C-alpha cells in the first residue's frame, strides 16, 4: 500500500445524495462500504465530516445571528453526521470510535491524540466530530489539524468532482483537470482546494492532499494502492 494511515474528509453536503437537505441513508451506506474496504486492507482510517447538509455558521450570519453562536450550532450538526456515519459503519461490522472536540460524554470520547492513534493501530475507524471545537474554523481546518496530529500519510478530500480544475467544471465545459500540483502552484493560480488556514497547515507540515470523486466506487481503494486518482497536491 502506498498509504497506511489516511484521513478522509467528507463534506456534509455529500451525505444528502439527491435530497435537498438532511441525510440520504443509501449514500451513507455506500460511503460506509468504501471505508470498510480500507479496513479490510489494514489501512488505518480516520474521518472528519462537515455539517453543511444540516446547518452552517455562515447561514446564521446571513440571518442576523451572531457568528460564534452559529459556528457552535454548525459543530453540533457535524456530530449528527458523525453519529450517522458511525452507525452505518457499525451496522456492517466496522469497529469505530467517535471523538468530539466539544465534551459530549453520553455519545463520544473527547479528542485525545494518543487514544485516537491507539484506536487506529487496533484497526478501528476514528471519526472526529465538532470541528476544532472553536468558532471561525472550518471542518477543512479540523481535517488538516487532526491529520497532522495522528501523523496521517495523506488527506483524502472526497468531493463530487474528480479533482482540481482550472475552473468550475460544472459551469465551464472547457475547464481542464490537474493530475498533480504543488502547494505553491495552487497559491499562485488562486485555486480553491481548502480554506487558507487548512491549506497552509498542510503546506507547513508537508502533508499531501488528494482531491477525488468520492462517489466513484472503488476510488478510495485505488488511491491507497497508489493509483493516480484525482489531483495530488504536495510540496
Which domain covers residue 192, as residue numbers? Answer: 5-234
Quick check: 33 pLDDT over 90?
Answer: yes
What is the number of structural domains in the chain? 1
Q: How confident is the model at residue 34 (pLDDT cuts 50, 70, 90)?
A: very high
Mean per-residue pLDDT over the chain, rounded: 94
Q: What is the pLDDT of residues 198-218, one digit of tens each?
A: 999 999 999 999 999 999 999
Rounded to whole angstroms, the Cα distance separating 147 from 154 reads 8
pTM (2 decimals)? Answer: 0.95
Q: What is the pLDDT of residues 176-201, one digit of tens each?
A: 999 999 999 999 998 988 999 999 99
Do the strands 44-49 and 125-129 form a parallel or antiparallel pair, or are they unpaired?
Answer: parallel
Predicted pLDDT at 61 = 74
Quick check: 142 pLDDT over 90?
Answer: yes
Quick check: 41 pLDDT over 80?
Answer: yes
Predicted pLDDT at 64 = 84
Quick check: 91 pLDDT over 90?
Answer: yes
DSSP string, the chain: ---SEEEEEE-GGGGGTTSSSS--HHHHHHHHHHHHHHHHTT-EEEEEE--TTT--HHHHHHTT--HHHHHHHHHHHHHHHHHHHHHHHHHTT--EEEEESS--TTT-EE--HHHHHHHHHTTPEEEEESTTSSTT--HHHHHHHHHHHTT-SEEEEEESSSSEESS-TTT-TT--EESEEEHHHHHHHT--SS-HHHHHHHHHTT--EEEEETTSTTHHHHHHHT---SEEEE-
Query: Position of cell 456515519?
Result: 85
Q: Work out the average pLDDT over 48-66.
A: 84
Quick check: 90 pLDDT over 90?
Answer: yes
Which of 30-39, 132-141, 184-193, 205-214 is predicted with the least confidence, judged by mean pLDDT?
A: 184-193
Predicted pLDDT at 160 = 87
Q: Work out the average pLDDT over 18-27.
A: 91
The CATH number of residue 151's host domain is 3.40.1160.10
Q: Work out the average pLDDT over 119-124.
A: 98
Q: How many CB atoms lie within 10 A of CB 131?
A: 31
Amino acid at each position: 500500500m502506498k498509504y497506511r494511515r489516511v484521513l478522509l474528509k467528507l463534506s456534509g453536503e455529500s451525505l444528502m445524495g439527491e435530497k435537498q437537505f438532511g441525510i440520504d441513508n443509501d449514500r451513507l451506506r455506500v460511503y460506509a462500504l468504501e471505508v470498510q474496504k480500507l479496513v479490510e486492507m489494514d489501512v488505518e482510517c480516520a474521518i472528519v465530516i462537515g455539517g453543511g447538509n444540516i446547518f452552517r455558521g455562515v447561514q446564521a450570519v446571513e440571518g442576523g445571528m451572531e457568528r460564534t453562536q452559529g459556528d457552535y450550532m454548525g459543530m453540533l450538526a457535524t456530530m449528527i453526521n458523525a453519529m450517522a456515519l458511525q452507525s452505518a459503519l457499525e451496522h456492517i461490522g466496522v469497529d469505530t470510535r467517535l471523538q468530539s472536540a466539544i465534551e459530549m460524554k453520553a455519545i463520544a470520547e473527547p479528542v485525545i491524540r494518543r487514544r485516537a492513534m491507539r484506536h487506529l493501530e487496533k484497526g478501528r475507524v476514528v471519526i472526529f466530530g465538532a470541528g476544532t471545537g472553536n468558532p471561525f474554523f472550518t471542518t477543512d481546518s479540523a481535517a488538516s489539524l487532526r491529520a497532522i496530529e495522528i501523523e496521517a500519510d495523506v488527506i483524502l478530500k472526497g468531493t463530487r468532482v474528480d479533482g482540481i480544475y482550472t475552473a468550475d467544471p460544472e459551469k465551464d465545459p472547457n475547464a481542464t483537470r490537474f493530475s498533480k500540483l504543488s502547494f505553491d502552484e495552487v497559491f499562485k493560480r488562486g485555486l480553491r482546494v481548502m480554506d487558507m488556514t487548512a491549506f497552509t497547515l498542510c503546506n507547513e507540515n508537508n502533508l499531501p492532499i488528494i482531491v477525488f470523486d468520492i462517489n466513484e466506487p472503488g476510488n478510495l481503494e485505488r488511491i491507497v494502492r497508489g493509483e493516480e486518482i484525482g489531483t495530488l497536491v504536495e510540496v
